[in-house]
Amino acid sequence: MASVSIYLNFAGNAEEAFNHYRKVFNTEFTSPLMRMRDMPAHPSAPPLPESEMDKVMHVAMPILGGTLIMATDMLESLGHKLKEGNNITISLNPDTKPEADRLFKELSNGEKDAVAPHEEFWGYWGTCKDRFGIRWMFNVMNPM
């Protein structure tokens, strides 16, 4: 079933933040916290430095009204720089790849700050910033 969530980027302290939010909202992570070391190596990407291997690749938990917040740590070794404007993304989780493609096309509208939806190890994923400066992410998860 399609859903919407809020994706947060952190400068290396996602785990600390989400442990705090877990107490504030009296909730639990939806699955075990995934670390960068858990990610399969990509043949065209350089290996991560040991100092970044335990950073958060993905964490998620429900807060109020069924809203799900998710997060990752941005990695300096990959040139990521956290700044206001790239720290929050609206994550759309459509039911199908064609719907993800349609949403991407309509929202990206030819903007340069975009990665078209494509296969990743967890599912079909893409991201863009729209003409109003809002960041969007598209995820069609692989069946478990």
Any domain includes 136? yes
Any domain includes 46? no
Which pLDDT score, from 0 to 100, does residue 42 have? 79
Q: Return mean pLDDT, the chain.
A: 89
Q: What Å distances lie between residue 14 and 30, 41, 107, 125, 139, CA to CA?
A: 15, 22, 27, 21, 20
Q: What is the pTM of this model?
A: 0.74
* 123-129/114-119 β-pairing: antiparallel
CATH number at residue 134: 3.10.180.10
Which pLDDT score, from 0 to 100, does residue 110 have? 79
Within 10 A of 60 (CB to CB), how many other CB atoms are there?
A: 17
pLDDT tens digits, 107-131: 998 778 899 999 999 999 999 988 8
d(CA 113, CA 135): 9
CA dihedral 81, 10, 5, 94 (to 10 degrees): 50
Which pLDDT score, from 0 to 100, does residue 143 have? 83
The segments of the chain whose pLDDT lies below 70 read 85
Q: How many structural domains compose the chain?
A: 1
Task: Give the 3-state secondary structure percentages of the chain, helix then strand then coil, rounded to 5.
Answer: 25, 35, 40
- Domain limits for position 58: 3-38+52-141
